[in-house]
Every structure is written in structure tokens, then in C-alpha cells.
Chains A and B, each alone.
Chain A
Amino acid sequence: MAQFRIAHLYPSLMNLYGDRGNLITLQKRLQWYGHECIVEPINLGCQIDYESFDMVFMGGGSDREQELVCLELLCQADNLWKELENDLPALFICGAYQLLGSYYESADGKQLKGLAFFKLYTLSEPERLTGNVVIASRLNQEITTVVGFENHAGRTYLDDESLQPFGTVLAGFGNNGQDGQEGIQYKNVIGTYLHGPLLPKNPQVADFFIKAMANRKGLEIKGQLNDLLEDYAHQQIKRKTLGG
């Protein structure tokens, strides 16, 4: 039995739309695979030793809270990026995903500087992109559908052809409602607009992170979990959203 540690960045600020369900899912599934998982909340003012963690998670927040977090993270950006380059698994949802880019421009024209990990930027518009979303995504060399719920005013544009989106939109809006791309994927990092929360009803994505965490420890995840309920929920949304 191994012990895994996940850093939950700024839970009291970035906690919209049940995103903590993602952490519950990782914790439970690791337990069911026979391991232990500790989630450590990281609050404003904490120095973070990213090297000591097996994964990083950050959820979405409102504009005001996003600004507070960004100021804090800018000071630690180099350390975080070093570990992400080192295959540290990380999941960034909605507002946290937008922070990975070079800037976020609110509807009134105010620009918020991002961490600039990737060449992407976000422009906010008054009309929110809201609804169920289904994408096709490549995970561990397999194409799989991923379902979720999106709710964002920001339109995100990947500004570099070499950047790989998290998936291709089958139904819903995705990054900007125009180019059919959703999120971003780089090494073991996923940035996405998908709430729902994402991981409970997309066990393939949850296991992608779990396997990546184990790999970095030189471990192999053994066995197969019973995902009947997970698949049921996944199919229910897919049927509803794609029809048929």
C-alpha cells in the first residue's frame, strides 16, 4: 500500500460547482485500488513544496477570487512549472484553467495577467456558455468520450498550433464555442471547462491521473474497479446530450 498526496490549491476561494467531487473521487478510487490518499488544502500565504506532492488540483472561482489566487501563484509559478514539466499530474478546472494562459480579459476590458504556462488567452463576453457538454478525448492512447457541464463567460483560444486540446467537442461549446476544441492537455496536465464534477462520471479520466501518479512512484495500479454506476451516469448524460 502506497500513500499519495494531492495538493488542493485554495479550496476556500476556488470552490465553485461541486469541483471538490473530483478530489473525493481520486481519494476513494485510490482507496479501492488498495492505496491511501491524503488531500492537503493549500491556503493563501502557504509556501508549497510541489516536489513533495503526487498531484495538484485547483477548481474554479468567481472573478474576484481568481484575482487573489493569481497574485499569489505568480510568485510560485517557476516551481510549479518545473514540476509540471517533470510529469506532475495536475487538474485545473474553469477559472483555474484560465489562469494557465497569458491573460484573462473581463467583459469591461480589464486584463488579468495569467501564469503564462501555455500560449493561450481568454476573453470574457457577457453571454455565458452554459450546458451539458460531451467531448472526445485521447487518454492513455485510447479515444474516449468525456461528459460534463460547462458554465463560463470566458472564451479561451489556444494561440499555438502545437498545443493539444483536452478533447474535440461533440456537443456543447468547449473553449470558445467556435473552433470545436475543449481544454488543454500537456504531459499529465489537464485544463478544462468541464464541471459536473468531471471525475466521478468519467472514470477513465480519474484513472488517467491515478496511473500517472503511480507511474511517477514506479508503481503499477492493479485490478479493475466495478464502474457500473459510473458508466450508467456517463451514458445517461451522453444519451441526453447527443440524443439517440
Chain B
Amino acid sequence: MSRIRTVIAIAVAKLLICLSRLLGNQGTDFPGRIARIIDPHILEKLAANVKEEIYIITGTNGKTTTTNMIARILEEKGYSFVHNQAGANMITGITTAFIKEADILGKKAFAYALLETDEAYVPLLLKEITPRVVLITNFFRDQLDRFGELDKTISLIKDAVRDTEVELVLNADDPLVVHFHNDTGLHCWYYGFEDTDYDVFEGEESREGRFCVFCGAELQYERFHYAQLGKFQCLNCGSHNPRRNFTGHDLHMSPEIRFAVNNLDIYSPYLGFYNAYNILAAVSVAKLVGIQDDIIQRAIASYKPQAGRMEQFQIGDQKAIQILVKNPTGLNQALAALINDPSSKALFFALNDNTADGRDVSWIWDAQVETLTSPNAGVSSITCSGLRSGDAALRFKYAGFDEELIRVEDELEAGITACLSTEAEIYYLLCTYTALFPIRKILSRLARKARGKTMGNIFNEKLTARGE
């Protein structure tokens, strides 16, 4: 009876995946949700088909990129694996990912599973599957309205891993992550950076981990690598960065990323310190899996960004770049990348407040939007769109932009058209999660249409040249 249930659940969910693809949706959560109603044990059963190991990747920032990089490494090695794509990282999305890869009987075996998991869903997921490793990238302020404050999220995850056999892979530079060893007694692997040329020595106002998690005293930072990540100690109780198992050293970021992990040279076409952390985390996991050095190097060097992570669109002679932003840190990263680009630019920002975006949009006030108003940022206009276009517009106005430069268009397509109709060398389109795929679709369509037009023109020109 139970097997029939499983087969029905898989069949129905696979059908739903096909249907939602036909409708042009991503089809990531709904099929899994329905399958779980038909067979509540579906995920448990399918996860049992993973013959080697399951890896859970969680944390506030960098989960998607880190998971995708590990996936690229396993692919390069030729291993089979299950992997939930593109941020579908709640338990329903993970269920969908398993079903997508399964055969109809639910018996097909895989070597590995890489599960990017939303922090809030880690406890739930651990009830159904047993991973070898949980990797925690970092904890930043993110979409807090879904589950209260950061402290609570952290303690929920701690409770979930305590009394299990999992190994933790942790960021040695994040004071909010490092106490997991003391509190759970689990085996921990640490990765982190040695001193780099890019470190800063003064903190900003909204750093999350300024206080010692053991005694509450203010932490003393010797240097900051990136946001709250850095070299710290507590003068009161003596806690400090743990010893690293995987050390990033000799970091160069101009413009692309080069560094070494325990003397293994790594090159990546990616930009930004946050991506150096993602690479370091991915390499650490690959070493734990036992992948050979040259395969790791090749995979990281050939890794391409995913949807919304600096994806480029060529629309006729206009260049547009789409960037997903989910929290102040992500927005700061996007703004930093934008300012580094010397071109004159038009900016588009779609701010939604659906559940997957986070219903509280106040985080935009924790980002340093003011940096955009410096003359060398070269921002010629801003179009605000989405369900909370008004909040977005106010953020830019109060950052110091002239009201005349700010335009509001709630509808995404109207907003994109308005943005592209302004004069600029490059167009940056920032958006929150639920606007990501709709915008991507619009941009792809515009790009296709423009290509079609150019082809048409060439064809016409040829006809004219031949005198027809």
C-alpha cells in the first residue's frame, strides 16, 4: 500500500512539474507540497536512495552560489547527485528536486545530494533525512519577519543538530557561527581567510555579530575581511576565531578572484570578497568529499553565474545586468559592484513583499544606499517597481537623490520599459526573489525580440542591396 502511495505521489508531482513548465513557471514548490500530502514519507524514502552522502548547505548569504559551485565540482568529477536549483530551498522545494530526479518507482540511486536549505527549514529537514555534513556559510540579518530574531534561528538549528552524528563545516571568521562546537559537541571543520590586503580596521554601524555569544561583552576586532567576518576576540572571556582546517590565503581580487586554499591555487572569473568566501566553502566541502585538486580547480574556473546573480542580457545595443538582492548585505554587494563599474548607468529596483521576499521591507534602510549618490557612481536615473515601489523610491530619495531622477512604475514590464528608455551605457536591474523570474522572462523576451529585429534588418538590407 505504502509503495503505491509513493508511486502515485511521484507520478502526480512529475505531472505537475511538467504542467507548470508548460505554463512557464519554475514549478519548484507546489509539486513537492502535493507529493508530501499524498505520501508524507516521500522525502525520507527518496533520500534513502542516496548511496554516498548528503550535504546540507545553509546560512544567510552565499548558499546558492556555494551549493552550485559544489555541484559544478561533482559534475566535473562525474558523480550523480540530486540538487535543488535556484533558491527553491524550503522543504517542499527540496522534495520537488528529489522527485524530478527520481524514476517512477522511486528506486533510482544517486551518489550524493546537495541541499541548499533555508535556515528556518533545517530543523524540519533533519527530521526526515540524515546528512553527513551541514555547512553554515554565515549568519546575517535576513528576512527576519518570518521567524523572529537571528538569535532564535541560530538556537533552533543548534537544537536540531545536537545529538546527531553530523559533521559541521563552519566559517571560522563569523562570530555567530563558531560557537556551534561548544554548544553541540559535534565534529567541526573550519574554513576562513588569513589576513588579506582587502581587510578594513573599522566597523560599520549595523554589524550583526559584534557581541560575544558566550558572555555578551563587545568583541574586539583586529580586522574585518568582509562585513562581520574577520579576526576577533573577546577580551572578557577569551573566545576567539577557532583554528582553521581550510585556510584561504594570498587573495587577489583585481578584477577576478585568485587565491589559494591550503596551497592549492584557485582561480575564478567571479568578483567580490563574498564570492571568495563562497569558493572557499565549496573547496572545503570538495576536499571533504575527497575530490582531486585538478578537478576542483577546473570546476571553479569554469563556473558560470546563475539566474539573477549578475546575469547579463543584450537587448539590441543595450546591455542589462540582473542582480537578485535579498537583504542589506546583498544590496550593499550589488551597489559596490555597480559603483566599481565606471559606465553611466540607469538603475531599476523591483521591491516585492511576498512571503518569499520577506514581508518586512525595512531592510533596505540598513543598506548603504547613500554610496550611490557620489558623483563617480554615475547613476543617471532610478526606476522603482514592484509591490513596494513606494518604499524603494523613498529609500533613494532620502539617500539624497533628486526626486526628478526617481520614477515609480508598479508593473514590472512598464518599469523595465521605462528604465530602458532612458539614456545610459548600462542598465542595472535589481530585484527581490519573487520578481527575479518574471523580470528574467521579460528581459529574455526583449533580447530575443531585438535579435529578431536585427536579423530582419540584415535580411532587408540584403534584399535592398540585391535591388529586390
A interface residues with partner B (beta carbon < 8 Å): 11-12, 15-21, 24-25, 28, 62-65, 68, 128, 130-132, 149, 151, 153, 195-197, 200-201, 226, 228-230, 232-237, 240
Other-chain contact of B359, A25, A62, A130 (Cβ < 8 Å):
A130
Of A18, A200, A237, A240, which is in contact with the most chain B CB atoms at under 10 Å from its CB? A18
- Given the known interface contacts A18-B365, A62-B150, A151-B145, the answer about A226 and B390 at a Cβ–Cβ threshold of 8 Å is no
Of B211, B394, B399, B408, which is in contact with the most chain A CB atoms at under 10 Å from its CB? B394
Count of A-B contacts judged by CB separation below 8 Å: 103
Q: Is B459 an interface residue (CB 8 A)?
A: no
Other-chain contact of A25, B144, B389, B398 (Cβ < 8 Å):
B398
B363 and A17 contacting across the interface, CB-CB below 8 Å? yes
Main secondary structure of the interface of A (DSSP, over half): mixed
A17 and B360 contacting across the interface, CB-CB below 8 Å? yes
- Given the known interface contacts A62-B149, A197-B365, the answer about A17 and B144 at a Cβ–Cβ threshold of 8 Å is yes
Q: Please, which residues of chain A bring their CB within 8 A of the CB of B151?
A: 62-64
> Mask for B366-395, Cβ within 8 A of A = 1, else 0?
100000000000000000000111110111
B150 and A12 contacting across the interface, CB-CB below 8 Å? no
A233 and B394 contacting across the interface, CB-CB below 8 Å? yes
A11 and B394 contacting across the interface, CB-CB below 8 Å? no
Other-chain contact of B390, A11, A64, A153, A229 (Cβ < 8 Å):
A229
Of A63, A128, A201, A235, which is in contact with the most chain B CB atoms at under 10 Å from its CB? A128
- Given the known interface contacts A18-B362, A131-B359, A229-B408, the answer about A200 and B148 at a Cβ–Cβ threshold of 8 Å is no
- Given the known interface contacts A25-B398, A62-B149, the answer about A149 and B390 at a Cβ–Cβ threshold of 8 Å is no
A201 and B205 contacting across the interface, CB-CB below 8 Å? no
B366 — nearest CB in chain A belongs to which residue? A18
Other-chain contact of B365, A20, A68, A236 (Cβ < 8 Å):
A20
Whole-angstrom CA separation of A210 from B388 in the bound complex: 26
B145 and A12 contacting across the interface, CB-CB below 8 Å? no
Q: Please, which residues of chain B bring their CB within 8 A of the CB of A25?
A: 398
A64 and B205 contacting across the interface, CB-CB below 8 Å? no
Q: Number of B interface residues, CB 8 Å?
A: 35
Q: Please, which residues of chain B bring their CB within 8 A of the CB of A132?
A: 359
- Given the known interface contacts A18-B363, A229-B397, the answer about A128 and B205 at a Cβ–Cβ threshold of 8 Å is no
- Given the known interface contacts A64-B216, A149-B145, A229-B406, the answer about A201 and B390 at a Cβ–Cβ threshold of 8 Å is yes
14 interchain pairs, CB-CB under 8 A: A15-B205, A17-B363, A20-B366, A64-B151, A64-B216, A128-B148, A149-B359, A151-B145, A151-B148, A151-B360, A195-B362, A230-B394, A236-B390, A240-B387
Other-chain contact of A11, B205, B359, B360, B361 (Cβ < 8 Å):
B205
B363 — nearest CB in chain A belongs to which residue? A18
Other-chain contact of B362, A196, A229, A230 (Cβ < 8 Å):
A196
Whole-angstrom CA separation of A118 from B81 in the bound complex: 60
Of B359, B366, B391, which is in contact with the most chain A CB atoms at under 10 Å from its CB? B391
Whole-angstrom CA separation of A139 from B400 in the bound complex: 27
- Given the known interface contacts A15-B205, A18-B365, A229-B393, the answer about A149 and B360 at a Cβ–Cβ threshold of 8 Å is yes
A31 — nearest CB in chain B belongs to which residue? B400
Q: Is B364 an interface residue (CB 8 A)?
A: yes
Q: Please, which residues of chain A bring their CB within 8 A of the CB of B387?
A: 236, 240
Other-chain contact of A12, B205, B390, B408 (Cβ < 8 Å):
B205
Whole-angstrom distance between the Cβ of A93 and the nearest chain B Cβ: 11
- Given the known interface contacts A201-B391, A229-B406, the answer about A18 and B364 at a Cβ–Cβ threshold of 8 Å is yes
Q: Please, which residues of chain A bring their CB within 8 A of the CB of B150?
A: 62
Q: Please, which residues of chain B bring their CB within 8 A of the CB of A130?
A: 145, 359-360
A62 — nearest CB in chain B belongs to which residue? B149
A21 and B362 contacting across the interface, CB-CB below 8 Å? yes
Q: Is B210 an interface residue (CB 8 A)?
A: yes
A15 and B206 contacting across the interface, CB-CB below 8 Å? yes
Q: Please, which residues of chain B bring their CB within 8 A of the CB of A200?
A: 365, 391, 394-395, 398
- Given the known interface contacts A233-B393, A236-B389, the answer about A16 and B149 at a Cβ–Cβ threshold of 8 Å is yes
Q: Please, which residues of chain A bring their CB within 8 A of the CB of B256?
A: none
Whole-angstrom CA separation of A28 from B373 in the bound complex: 14
Q: Is B403 an interface residue (CB 8 A)?
A: yes
Other-chain contact of A195, B149, B360, B393, B399 (Cβ < 8 Å):
B360
